[in-house]
Amino acid sequence: MITKVHGDILLSEAHAIAHGIAPHDHFNQGLALALRERYPAMAQDFRHYCFQQNPKSGHAWLWAGPEKVVINLMTQEPALANQVHPGKASLKNINHALKELCGIIEKEEIKSIALPRLATGVGGLEWSDVEPLIEKYLGDLKIPVIVYNSYGKDEKAIEKNLKTA
């Protein structure tokens, strides 16, 4: 069941937050930056993971912190050599990452998940192209899926039927 809300995803009471990044991302813009500031260990662990595994676009990586589970969906292409910002997202990468997200949700017994309008900010895609993929992969899950349709800084959204950790 997908619920669309307005608010600040960082205030979500969902068990997990999923968001889009690139392989070897520096977490220096958008929601990734806000998550890095809130969970600096996540960014450090991601750098270590990338160094060890050299992940490709289209994959997902779970980080379980003391307060929140964050699932990093590699929807964007990695940065080109000597560039700080990653490349744009693609629907192909989103397809693969959402498939992996579903597997992670099942394997890790995630109780509820919140995500932004995936890949439409820094990722550069149109929500009208991404939303059908969200519906396709997450619409029939037996857990609450909260899509933060619009951002309101420091505004707590009303998240109905939420199951937490």
**Percentage of the chain lying above the pLDDT 70 cut:** 96
Q: What angle do CA 54, 32, 61 make, to 5 degrees?
A: 40
Average pLDDT in the chain = 92
Average confidence (pLDDT) over 93-118: 97
pTM metric for this prediction: 0.93
pLDDT digit string, tens, across residues 7-19: 999 999 999 999 9
61 by Cβ neighbours in 10 Å (0-12 / 13-18 / 19+) ranks as: buried
Phi–psi pair at 107, nearest 5 degrees: -60, -45
Q: What is the pLDDT of residue 136?
A: 97
Domains and CATH numbers, the chain: 2-151 (3.40.220.10)
